[in-house]
Amino acid sequence: MSRRNEAVGLTRQRIVDAAVELHGSVGPAATTIAAIAETAGVTRLTVYRHFPDTDSIFAACSAHWMSQQIAPRPDVWAKIGDPLERLRCGLTDLYRFYRDAEQMLTLVRRDVEHVPAPIKAATIAREQGMRDVLLSAFRVRGPKRDRVGAVIGHALSFSTWRSLCVEQHLSQPVAVDAMVKLVEAVAAPAPRRRTA
Amino acid sequence: MSRRNEAVGLTRQRIVDAAVELHGSVGPAATTIAAIAETAGVTRLTVYRHFPDTDSIFAACSAHWMSQQIAPRPDVWAKIGDPLERLRCGLTDLYRFYRDAEQMLTLVRRDVEHVPAPIKAATIAREQGMRDVLLSAFRVRGPKRDRVGAVIGHALSFSTWRSLCVEQHLSQPVAVDAMVKLVEAVAAPAPRRRTA
DNA sequence: AGTTGAGTGAACAGTTGCGTTCAACGAATC
DNA sequence: GATTCGTTGAACGCAACTGTTCACTCAACT
């Protein structure tokens, strides 16, 4: 039961690796069973033997990819007391992750319709959790709290990182700085306009 | 030559309308010739007679859709002297347009690979023009000018509007306000930190 | 040494899309 | 009334992807 199972596991791993590679290069929507099989160096039939449908491949693929990423750590951010410092720290950590995972995240977001519901839900929950950690440090109350939460959510979004760091060519620290300033300005207690 | 050509033009118009509708509902990538024909109430052959390939349909489709939109007017924004006021005005105008065109823009951006190059180029040029109009009102110089330009570009992006007004459920004016504050903070002459 | 089973190769049936050809209809035009 | 031509219906060839079946090989396990 050892050498044989090992070989089987290896084949399975090659299939998952191939799926990860294709998801990250052509995107989940364009990833066909035939392409996975070819990339993995096995037959379509072998892929079907290991995974009944595309969704189960996606699940294994997603888990494996996640396991080899350095994920952001909201639990660590939570230890920082100062709201803006916590925010800066969190965004720096998150944007580092976004940078590492750019290709994959870009394509997965584009093909979000093809992502199985559980994975989508987990992603949303993770983002919600990060938002809560960052927002909870702020003392603002009332309707302004909603606005601060919203701009924090905006700062956390992958599309925001992409807009700032890829399309606008900002460096990561400058992008973080801009988003911190945004939250700071929205959270500021005295809006004092000169045109008042 | 009158009644007949009129009928031909009507058929052509029905095809273009069908293409617009499908681009805005299922997206350009999933818009097939057969679906266009069916929606227009004609045969695939008729579609092929009017348009040699998908790109020419896209061009006609894009032009027709644009003609029935109320496009943003950077030339009007340019008349406002105060930088922040010009910015606020421009973003309000642009976000109104984004709101009207949400579905279409969302799907076209998703399927951007299927958009013919000329249309893509025109869109980029338009966004670049808006950025220039808004940035030119600011007096900042040096490296800070790049950063102000970048956050203006970020504020102008459709993904930013989508993040703020759709995902974060901000109202249009509040979203505009947040982005104005962002640019104001980045453009501010004295960063004066209390932690300095 | 015999059995198990992962992997192979080939083929099948079904779907969807593209692009093209042909004969025929029918209404507008001359 | 004859002609033009936009439109139609049916069909064909091509390509790609999905699942599934069957017979087969060969290494590994008992």
Q: Give pTM, 2 decimals.
A: 0.93
Q: Residue B193: what pLDDT? A: 56
Residue among B147, B169, B181 whose CB faces A185 most closely: B181
Asked whether residue A15 carries a pLDDT value surpassing 70, the answer given is yes
Q: Cα(B116)–Cα(B125) distance, rounded to whole angstroms? A: 15
What CA–CA distance (Å, rounded) separates A93 from A74? Answer: 9
Round to whole Å and give the CA distance between B12 and B46.
9
- Summarised one tens digit per residue, pLDDT across range A34-75 is 999 999 999 999 999 999 989 999 999 999 999 999 999 999
Contact of A26 with chain B, judged by CB distance below 8 Å, is answered with no
pLDDT confidence of A196, banded at 50, 70, 90?
A: very low
First to last CA, chain B: 80
The two three-digit tokens of residue A194, written as one number: 């000169």
Q: How far is A117 from A120, CA to CA, in rounded Å?
A: 5
Strand D near-CB residues (< 7 Å), A 18-37: 32-35
Question: B196 pLDDT band (50/70/90 cuts)?
Answer: very low
B33-40 and B3-25 helices, crossing angle to 10°: 120
| Distance of C1' in D27 from CA in A2, Å | 13
- Which bases of strand D have any atom within 7 Å of the beta carbon of a protein residue? 6-10, 16-22, 28-30
Q: How far is A39 from chain B (nearest CA, A)?
A: 24
pLDDT at site A65? 97
A8: which nucleotide lies closest, measuring CA to C1'?
C6
Q: Long-range contact list for B37-42, CB < 8 A, 24+ apart?
A: B40/B11, B40/B14, B40/B15, B41/B14, B42/B11, B42/B14, B42/B15
pLDDT the model gives residue B192 = 57
How far is residue A28 from each of residues A12, A20, A21, A107, measured CA to CA in Å?
Answer: 18, 9, 10, 7
Q: Give the per-residue pLDDT at A2.
A: 74
pLDDT of amino acid A13? 96
Q: Model confidence over A70-121: pLDDT tens digits?
A: 999 999 999 999 999 999 999 999 999 999 999 999 999 999 999 999 999 9
Cβ < 7 Å from strand C, A residues 3-62: 4, 7-8, 11-12, 41-43, 45-46, 49-50
d(CA A21, CA A44): 17
Where does residue A24 rank: exposed (0-12), middle (13-18), buried (19+ CB within 10 A)? buried
How does the average pLDDT of chain A come out, rounded? 94
> H-type helices in chain B, by residue range?
3-25, 33-40, 44-50, 54-67, 74-77, 83-100, 102-110, 117-135, 143-156, 158-161, 172-187
Please answer yes or no on whether B178 and A153 come within 8 Å at the CB atom. no
